[in-house]
Structure 1
Amino acid sequence: MIPYIIHAGLILGACLAFYKLLLQRETFYRLNRFVLAACLIVSFGLPLIPVPGKFSIQPAVQSVSQKPVTTVTPANFLPVIEKPANAAEPITVAENAITWESLKTWALWLYWFGVIALGLNFLMQLFILLYRAYSKPAIIDGRYRIVELNSDAAPCSFGNNIFINPAKYDWETYNQILLHEKIHIRDGHTADILLAELVLIFQWFNPFAWVYRKELETNLEYLTDENLLRQDEVDKSSYQLSLLKVSAPHFPLSLTTNYNQSLLKKRLVMMNRKKSNLHTGWKYLFIIPVLVTAALLLNKPLALAQDDVARTDKNAKQDQPRKDMRLDTEGAWFATIKADKVSVQFKNDDDVHHSSNSSTFLLSELGSLPRDKSGTFEIKREAGTMQCTGKFEGEQGMGRYKFVADKNFADYLKKEAVDVNDEEDMMVFFFVDLRRSYVEMLKKNGYDNVKKHDLIPLAALKIDEKYITSIKESGFADFKLRELIPLKSLNVDREYIQEIRNAGYKNVTLNQLVTFKSQGINGKYIKDMRDAAKTDGRPSDYDNDEDFGNQLVSRKALGVDADYIKSVKDAGFSDVSNGDLIAMKALGIDGAFIKSTRAAFGDIRTHDVMAIKSLDITPEYIRSFESVGFKDL
């Protein structure tokens, strides 16, 4: 069966295709909102529902006809090894399996790293928004809190908070902005955005999820515009003009509903579009066959699920289903010797879960190896002993293993409040080579009662006292052990931290370091950004501003580098701000576009260029008005 998260991603992609093909151009914005939000939830719930086997499109024979899982004993396993003519074949298969298992392991680590990185980014944005909302002056207007800003950030809303710089707009525009954002708050649009952001955390690898989030936000803007224009005191022309005035270049955080400049042209078009006819409502019914087809094609057939239960009842003692996919304490091993190291893959006997673990040991840890005939050897560590039976032919070998946990070490861990439930837990500690000295080192550094789920990655990543001390000496005296896991996995060390600080970002946090490193932001990039662009007139300690980290990530994600900034300056904008750079890059404005625009329209500002680009105004378009008598546009 395909992994659940990929299954959900495929259904999400099908829902996106349905929306783009049939609903995107319809003006039933409220219904579209419901469909988009419901499809997000259905995409993650539908894969959990088994379908009747007779309706499933999946070939059920492959699963039903599998042989019952049996325990492979040394008696029927070792003769395969002892046949010289066939020895090369199983060894080759083992080598291929190691490569495939390693690839899957790395893919899983990469996926969870992405989840951690985006999850941290989500929490950081949430904290920044709440901090802004309750640390800056605010006007209470009934259920609404109008938070006054001093920056050039675009107006936006989050929860019941409206963020706006009142000094930037005239009174009429200011009131229309408030009306717009109040509709976002009244209709609870923040919930839609948060739902889409949570989906992105777990679907970060899925391009459909990113497009889906954008479409959801776009529809919310259409819906808000429609509701606002229904009010008698709002004139369509003046409102559309105010949108151009509000087109701010400084991007707000992604958790907010905001005046997104890249959507401006689409919003203006949809405001003037003829309302959809009620007779087109039949299109919405097409979502049902889309979801049914996805379920029949991807979901596990119900017959197979029932067959699994029947087999379990029949062979309860021999083939009890596992509660997880951990490695059993007994199974098969495959090994390859390379120089002074041995790469060993330990695999379960069953054909269902395919659980395995690949570990590398020093050749000296294995002692005397059985060569050309069956024998035994042991791998001893503090967590227990791996007793192996089998043989090596040349540099490769295979056989059976049995893990025996060290009771004294298990008692020691329980005494230290580490949750050890069974021998399988101890085998995990064996693979990461957990030692008493490591636990004592953590206690020495002030970390008592370390949890099992933290201790395993800490030991696996070899986060030692030297690394912990280096982070503390870098100015982070108070942090949790689990915060070191993404730092170490990304190779964030003392040198990287100092590099970021030397570039001018002196108050960087651990979460920001994780985000910077994952985006490939280094000291040179930060310095290039500071050298190439001004800082919107902010004081020299702008590196302490809470928005600076977000700007860095935005610039890096959009590909704003020194060459891009130079091309903008060479085109005539020598004092372009960081916010303008981000906005122009997002709109696809490059040096060539700026030069052609300035040549056609004369000496214009950055905001004018962005407005022209967002509305797709070209020199040819202007000349078409001149030909009919409008010479002074």
Structure 2
Amino acid sequence: MIPYTLYVAIIIAAFLVFYKTLLQNETFFRLNRYMLLTCMTLAFVLPLIPVPQQFSFRQPPPNLTIPHISTLTPKEDISSTQTDFTLPNVETEVSQTVNKDLFVQWLIYLYWFGVIIFGFNFLLQIVLLLFKAYSKSAILDGKFRIVEIPEDKAPCSFANTIFINPEKYDWETYNQVLQHEKIHIQEKHTFDLLLTELMLIFQWFNPFAWQWRKELESNLEYFTDALMLQKDDIRKEHYQMSLLKVAAPHFPLSLTTNYNQSLLKKRLIMMNSKKSNVHTTWKYFFLLPVIALLICSFNEPFRQNQVNLSTTNVDAKNEVENGLKNTGYWFATIKNDKVNIHFKNEDDEESNNSSGTTFLVSELGQLPQDKQGTFTVKREAGTMEFTGRFEGNKGMGNYKFLPNKSYLDDMKKEGIDLNTDEDLLVFFMININESYVHMLKKNGFKNLHKDDLIPLAALKVDEAYISSIRMAGLNDLKPGDLIPLKSMNIDKKYIEEIRNSGYKDVTADKLITLKSMDIDGKYIADYKSATKKQEQSNYNHRTDDITSNLTNGGGDEDDDIIAFKSMDIDKSYINSIKESGYANVSNSDLIAIKSMGITQEYIKSIKNSGYPNIEMDDLIAVKSLNLSPEYIKSIKNAGYPNIDIDDLIAMSSLNINAGYISSYKNAGYGQIDVNDMIALKSLDVTSELMQQYEELGFKDLDIQEVISAKSTGTTPAFIKSMREKGHNLKSLEKYITLKTVIEN
């Protein structure tokens, strides 16, 4: 798996490319701000989200541990003798030794060194800014604090404090600077910068992260400029001239919003660029497939309802990893006819972990009760000598494992490389006999590895099990297939049940996926029954509607049934949607509406609101906007009793509510056409703005003229400035024409 920090860096890079390619030149500055903040947060959250295996482009890591061996059947030669010895007082268990690559270790040290340095710099900047803000006297202007500084630095703001040298600017420029910085404070832009600095602490090595901060700062300035130009007392030409006066080469700390000289040209260009059309907002939705692609490509896959195979007192494979040695200590507990023995190494006195196995009492022969003694267990892999004593049902002592070198040679002839005595010890614990290897090879598993043998033997994959699943049709199997099949209790009965439900040529991988999600024959039958009608309608050219896709255990239908199970789409839910009037709803729509929480009750409420024949696509759009029956009623009562569902969706997406509509009626504009209302809102036209046009002498305003005026930037402030220059035109339309001529 890609290390978390590098994965975050990749996500930031991908989001930055997406932003610069599609969104950088759009004038939806507020939306861009939220997008930049959200993506920055998502970059740190996405790597933590596991993805279902069926949606992942990666193979899941092995999640198999060897189950507890409750009984072993060794070929033992058990004897019991007595000897005097002193029992050690041992309270320690097996520890795991982890050796890390030196180069990687130094990279880790370097990374955290950078985190510390940038973290210290971040804290230092905050301390300096707070000291600068509160060590000097300030002018209080409502919630704003204005601190006058003597330095030759550009104005800036932090939290609710504005830093400015008033002696450098004339009154008009000074006033515009204050208004500019007040907008930064009102919009809480300091939060954006603080969050970005925190990102850089942990992504200091990532050039895309630094570019991200630059883009975020630029967008904040574009956003603030746009808000400034909406003020009636601000003329674009004067404001741009003020920017030129303020821009200076001495920049404040990076935690402040400020006048950046290198950004000035871009700001001027953006101020004079045409506003983006509302229809270009579709670009933002492309972020969703980018996120999905990143998650499916890099995130750790998992199987739902994954069976935990460890019950355990013994994990033989982990005994190798934990370094269980040939000599050490044992601790035992007798319970009924079984003895559970835990092992640990002599030099692992600080460990709190133990490895163990369970024997039948009869396998151990005569146990030394209340006296010191020795008992042995002999198997093909070697002999285990136990020295110690039992008092009641508790015992402890020393053990020594004596490997059988001839067994090592025999395994080598079979192609099984056992490199160390620890390997032999594991084979002893699991009791892997040479005959077991022969059985596997006889059944076609020629190229065996020790890592295959250990789980196969521990899971008790025997000849009868192999034969039974082959009789069920699984012939092309590898040792790695047998392990999850057996561990998940996939037997002949389950395989035949799945085949009889339509998966005629189902593979081992598909069986594992189905079983991991608790999909059985009954669920498949219910799925087929519930979806058969719409499948026949949508694909009536097929002779076998759903089974044709299920035959090979693949295709879209196969993915659908897995998605249905993961989202708990059952027969009752499908029938409820059909009963709501969607008899031919597709599987993809079922998945979509279930994921959005659309229920029979919700559909009924929308239909009862005046849309009895609402299409599924519109229903999904309505739900995605959280459009409620109460909202529909309010819009209809506001003067649109017969509003089309598409117009209603458009209104909701623009946050047009009854209050917004009433504001025009209260201002005397009567009933406005629904399309004009949508256009007014998309351009952020308010009833107050229309009143300002009336105050300029334009009575009986035409809505289309107001829309044109707003879209071209023919604001009341522009009209006033033209009249001051002697352009006393009689109609708003002529001022629109004048504005167009000036702009071109």
Please classify the TM superposition score into its range, dividing by the shorter chain length.
Answer: 0.5 to 0.7
Structure 1 CA distance for aligned equivalents of residues 572 and 377 of structure 2: 55
Structure 1 CA distance for aligned equivalents of residues 345 and 569 of structure 2: 49
Structure 2 CA distance for aligned equivalents of residues 496 and 42 of structure 1: 34
Distance 1:555 1:456, change over 3 A: same
Structure 1 counterpart of 2:410, one-letter code: Y
State whether structure 2 residue 561 is matched by structure 1 residue 552: yes
- Contact 2:343 2:355 (C-alpha < 8 Å) held by counterparts: yes
Question: 5+ unaligned residues in a row in structure 2: which ranges?
Answer: 16-29, 50-83, 97-215, 217-269, 299-318, 644-744
Q: Say which of 352, 356, 359 aligns to 2:357.
A: 359
Distance 1:458 1:393, change over 3 A: same
Report the TM-score, using the length of structure 2 for normalisation: 0.45
Deviation of residue 630 (structure 1)? 1.8
- Contact 1:342 1:362 (C-alpha < 8 Å) held by counterparts: yes
Deviation of residue 559 (structure 1)? 1.5
Structure 2 CA distance for aligned equivalents of residues 417 and 454 of structure 1: 12
State whether structure 2 residue 541 is matched by structure 1 residue 543: no
State whether structure 2 residue 445 is matched by structure 1 residue 447: yes
Residue of structure 2 equivalent to 1:599: 608
Deviation of residue 451 (structure 1)? 1.0
Deviation of residue 444 (structure 1)? 0.8
Residue of structure 2 equivalent to 1:373: 371
CA-to-aligned-CA distance 1:398-427 (integer Å, 9 cap, x gap): 222111111111110111121111111001
Structure 2 CA distance for aligned equivalents of residues 573 and 562 of structure 1: 14
Structure 1 counterpart of 2:480, one-letter code: R
State whether structure 2 residue 337 is matched by structure 1 residue 335: no
Residue of structure 2 equivalent to 1:346: 343
Structure 2 CA distance for aligned equivalents of residues 404 and 337 of structure 1: 24
Deviation of residue 429 (structure 1)? 0.4
Q: Say which of 588, 592, 599 aligns to 2:597.
A: 588
Residue of structure 2 equivalent to 1:499: 497
Deviation of residue 35 (structure 1)? 7.9
Residue of structure 2 equivalent to 1:286: none
Deviates more, 1:558-567 or 1:593-602: 558-567
Higher-Rg member (1/2): 2
Distance 1:352 1:442, change over 3 A: same
Structure 2 CA distance for aligned equivalents of residues 530 and 253 of structure 1: 33
- Contact 1:572 1:595 (C-alpha < 8 Å) held by counterparts: no
SS in 2 for 1:358: strand
Deviation of residue 252 (structure 1)? 10
Structure 2 counterpart of 1:629, one-letter code: G
Structure 2 CA distance for aligned equivalents of residues 474 and 436 of structure 1: 28
CA-to-aligned-CA distance 1:178-224 (integer Å, 9 cap, x gap): xxxxxxxxxxxxxxxxxxxxxxxxxxxxxxxxxxxxxxxxx9xxxxx
SS in 1 for 2:445: coil
What is the 5 A alignment of 1:36-75? none
Distance 1:456 1:339, change over 3 A: same
Structure 2 counterpart of 1:592, one-letter code: E
Deviation of residue 486 (structure 1)? 1.1
Structure 2 CA distance for aligned equivalents of residues 425 and 615 of structure 1: 61
Structure 2 CA distance for aligned equivalents of residues 564 and 42 of structure 1: 31
Distance 1:417 1:368, change over 3 A: same
Deviation of residue 570 (structure 1)? 3.8
Distance 1:580 1:608, change over 3 A: same
Between the two proteins, what is the percent identity of the paired residues? 42
Structure 1 counterpart of 2:634, one-letter code: S
State whether structure 2 residue 620 is matched by structure 1 residue 610: yes
- Contact 2:376 2:384 (C-alpha < 8 Å) held by counterparts: yes
**Cα RMSD (Å) of the superposition?**
4.5
SS in 1 for 2:375: strand
Structure 1 counterpart of 2:451, one-letter code: H
- Contact 1:382 1:406 (C-alpha < 8 Å) held by counterparts: yes
- Contact 1:347 1:354 (C-alpha < 8 Å) held by counterparts: no
Structure 2 CA distance for aligned equivalents of residues 236 and 487 of structure 1: 56
- Contact 1:325 1:355 (C-alpha < 8 Å) held by counterparts: no
What is the 5 A alignment of 1:340-489? 340-349=337-346, 350-489=348-487
Structure 2 CA distance for aligned equivalents of residues 411 and 457 of structure 1: 22
Structure 2 CA distance for aligned equivalents of residues 556 and 34 of structure 1: 33
Residue of structure 2 equivalent to 1:86: none
Question: 5+ unaligned residues in a row in structure 1: which ranges?
Answer: 44-73, 81-89, 105-218, 220-229, 258-321
CA-to-aligned-CA distance 1:61-86 (integer Å, 9 cap, x gap): xxxxxxxxxxxxx95535x6xxxxxx
- Contact 1:589 1:613 (C-alpha < 8 Å) held by counterparts: yes
CA-to-aligned-CA distance 1:321-343 (integer Å, 9 cap, x gap): x9952211112222222333222
Question: Number of residue pairs matched?
Answer: 382
Structure 2 CA distance for aligned equivalents of residues 355 and 413 of structure 1: 30
State whether structure 2 residue 37 is matched by structure 1 residue 27: no
Deviation of residue 533 (structure 1)? 2.2
- Contact 1:454 1:481 (C-alpha < 8 Å) held by counterparts: yes
Residue of structure 1 equivalent to 2:586: 577
CA-to-aligned-CA distance 1:339-376 (integer Å, 9 cap, x gap): 33222222233134545322122222111111121111
Structure 2 CA distance for aligned equivalents of residues 434 and 503 of structure 1: 38
CA-to-aligned-CA distance 1:110-144 (integer Å, 9 cap, x gap): xxxxxxxxxxxxxxxxxxxxxxxxxxxxxxxxxxx
- Contact 1:532 1:566 (C-alpha < 8 Å) held by counterparts: yes
Structure 1 counterpart of 2:471, one-letter code: E
Structure 1 counterpart of 2:635, one-letter code: F
Residue of structure 2 equivalent to 1:512: 510
CA-to-aligned-CA distance 1:258-301 (integer Å, 9 cap, x gap): xxxxxxxxxxxxxxxxxxxxxxxxxxxxxxxxxxxxxxxxxxxx
SS in 1 for 2:33: coil
Structure 1 CA distance for aligned equivalents of residues 445 and 519 of structure 2: 31
Structure 2 counterpart of 1:623, one-letter code: K
Distance 1:581 1:417, change over 3 A: same
Structure 1 counterpart of 2:629, one-letter code: P
- Contact 1:377 1:388 (C-alpha < 8 Å) held by counterparts: yes
SS in 1 for 2:325: coil
Structure 2 CA distance for aligned equivalents of residues 42 and 577 of structure 1: 32
Structure 1 CA distance for aligned equivalents of residues 468 and 331 of structure 2: 39
What is the 5 A alignment of 1:48-197? 77-78=87-88
- Contact 2:386 2:399 (C-alpha < 8 Å) held by counterparts: yes
Deviation of residue 542 (structure 1)? 2.6
Deviates more, 1:332-341 or 1:235-244: 235-244
Structure 2 CA distance for aligned equivalents of residues 27 and 504 of structure 1: 51
Deviation of residue 34 (structure 1)? 7.7
